Structure 1
Amino acid sequence: MKTIINTNSAPNPLGPYNQAVLCKGTLYLSGQIAINPETNTLVLDDIISETKQVMENLKAVLDAANYSFTDVVKSSIFIIDMDNFVAINKVYGSYFGDETAPARETVQVSKLPKNVNVEISMIAAK
């Protein structure tokens, strides 16, 4: 059995998917991009503010399911330009402690939805 998780505190999905699905104690979070859910506009001022918005969107979905970043076991980061890795990693890392940081991969891709620079998805478990 699965439970669908959606919250107005994160952007509405751009297609036929949900913000997250909870199944047997594991929460699968769809990829988030830097859409401000209050204004429905992209936050593309710089890679730091863009990444922060992505992480805040993920936090909102985690919160809606009563999970937190300490419950995250796996992250996938997709970026357009590997030259942005250090800045993205700094923002991303500020949401985790060394003891609870999840497994992760970071992959450079040729294009992301709405021509953003970063998208992050996660899996969390309790």
Structure 2
Amino acid sequence: MTVKRQPSRPTGNLSGTVTGETTQAMENLRAVLSEAGLDFSDVVQTWIFLTELTDFDTANAVYAEYFNEPYPARAMVQVAGLPKGARVEIEMVAKVR
């Protein structure tokens, strides 16, 4: 199962900070995983897209709060832009049990 989520709240608004956007994206992904009967331990790969690589440490700190060893494979890359002016977008692949 592959899911991609932007950091928008249910209202469609962004939080305005990298920490807030990363947290919201992870919570949005948690909801999708949960709906499928999965959790973050089922994630095998992630891609994190940032509009500024200077936000790496901030996004990485939030991301790390959601995973335990063994960590999924991950790529974090800079992109020219994201929809709705988001600073962060996260895509995950999870194994279905």
| Deviation for aligned residue 1:28 | 1.2
| Deviation for aligned residue 1:100 | 2.9
* Structure with greater helix share of residues: 2
Q: Name the counterpart of 1:124.
A: 94
Secondary structure at the residue paired with 1:34?
coil
Q: Name the counterpart of 1:49.
A: 20
TM-score of the pair, normalised by structure 2: 0.94
Aligned residues: CA RMSD: 0.9
1:1-126 residue pairs with structure 2 within 5 A? 27-29=1-3, 31-37=4-10, 39-44=11-16, 46-97=17-68, 99-125=69-95, 126=97
- The runs of at least 4 aligned residues of structure 1 exceeding 6 Å deviation read none
Q: For residues 5-42 of structure 1, what are the alpha-carbon distances to aligned partners after superposition, in whole Å with 9 as ceiling and x for unaligned?
A: xxxxxxxxxxxxxxxxxxxxxx111x2111111x2222
Q: How many residues align?
A: 96
* Structure with greater strand share of residues: 1
Secondary structure at the residue paired with 1:42?
coil
TM-score of the pair, normalised by structure 1: 0.73
Q: Percent identity?
A: 43
* Structure showing greater relative contact order (alpha-carbon pairs closer than 8 Å, 6 or more residues apart): 2
For structure 2, which runs of at least 5 residues remain unmatched after alignment? none
